[in-house]
Amino acid sequence: MNVIYFDNNATTRVADEVFEAMRPYFCELYGNPSSMHTFGGQVGVRIREAREHVAALLGCHPSEVIFTSCGTESDSTAILGTLAAVPHRRKVITTRVEHPAVLTVCRDLENRGYQVIELGVDKQGRLDLGELESHLDDDTAIVTIMSANNETGTVFPIEKIARMVTDRGITFHTDAVQVVGKIPLNLADSCVNLLSLSGHKLHGPKGVGVLYVRKGTRIAPLLLGGHQEGGRRAGTENVPGIIGLGKACELASRYMEDENTRVRTLRDRLESAILASCPDSRINGDPENRLPNTTNISFEYIEGEAILLMLDRFGICASSGSACTSGSLEPSHVLRAMGVPFTAAHGSIRYSLSRYNTEEEVDFTIDKMPQIIERLRELSPFVGQVTA
Ligand code: PLP
């Protein structure tokens, strides 16, 4: 059975060009870039080139790019490294809809005596910037707010937020794991201090990420040890991963236009056909400010997991809520923060597309969805109940 993969916010297929670029760095060019000999040194040169490709995609200087092991490590380093650099400040501001890579760190900080403010969102997942402003003070060490939500695709006005925060001398971090490669960035013209990205979300390999650190930003390293990454992140480099990420960034610049035209059109076609053919369905998130590849749709009275199982029979991969929480049947914390009614939050499905998806795949899914929903509604004990 062919797989129709609509779960690209969970992870993406490694691009062929990325895989080919990585291949020599396992068994041929396996030297340690820190070695003095030419064999290792040539790897160091390739890492430098990869760093330049990342910097070109982000619109920053290569020296501002630190390679990490994943988006999660980048997020942890940004938050904990900032707190270590400004120990007299004890307040952290974030949102209730962050990925667990940020939210769990912040909640742990609260247990350790920090004041943590979690900003709420409205029904469409939008922030109230007035509320954010009212919390900024001299005790605030860092504000960490995602660029776009992994579950709904809602994009936050990061530049406006970054200016508001940094104008007060507070460090601003954004988890841009879902944005890099989908929306153009130019960090040279931005106020963002720290930005996280992850290789496996943009057709690069798993196990590699980046923390962008704007020149002059006060931050301490999380991992101590060797002098790699200019002493800012110890540990022998994941050379194939870094080379692959460099290639993925190079390709992302090339495919950005496609992402925002063809992929967006496919997403819109899928979304509008499903909404038209499946009664009691609705979009979750801000329909105006949204990632071009993502749609999150709630189907009242049925379980998202049941829909996923039925889709799976046709080889269609999607997600109910975030991939990282899909092991539990709790409704997503993002949809709960948006006040999505319980019966709708339970029946939410995220379709996240990529440049590898085709019109035929979208049409096949459009054809199958109404029968799946109708069948599950026939079986549902909740149909006809009043929702709260
Ligand atoms: N931040 C967001 C918004 C994500 O979607 C993810 C992964 O799903 C992460 C952070 C974690 O990235 P990684 O899997 O590279 O640790």
Amino acid of residue 185: L
Q: Please report the atom of ligand 1 found closest to the CA of residue 11.
A: 8
pLDDT tens per residue, range 92-142: 999 999 999 999 999 999 999 999 999 999 999 999 999 999 999 999 999
Q: What is the pLDDT of residues 301-337, one digit of tens each?
A: 899 999 999 999 999 999 996 444 445 578 899 999 9
How close is the Cα of 134 to the center of ligand 1, in Å?
29
Distance 99 CA to ligand 1 centre (A): 7
Q: Which of 191, 278, 317, 324 is catalytic?
A: 324
Q: What's the CA-to-centroid distance between 325 and ligand 1, angstroms? A: 12
324 carries an active-site annotation: yes
pLDDT tens digits for 177-196? Answer: 999 999 999 999 999 999 99
Atom 9 (ligand 1) nearest CA: 71
In this structure, which residue's CA is closest to atom 10 in ligand 1?
71
- To 5 degrees, how large is the angle CA 154–CA 155–CA 158? 150
Closest CA to 77 of 215, 212, 230: 212
The C-alpha atoms of residue 90 and residue 110 are separated, in whole angstroms, by 10
Based on the number of CB atoms within 10 Å of its own CB, is 240 exposed (0-12), middle (13-18) or buried (19 or more)?
Answer: buried
Q: Cβ distance 218 to 86 under 8 Å?
A: yes
Q: Is the CB of 182 under 6 A from ligand 1?
A: no
Domains of the chain: 4-11+256-385 (3.90.1150.10), 16-251 (3.40.640.10)
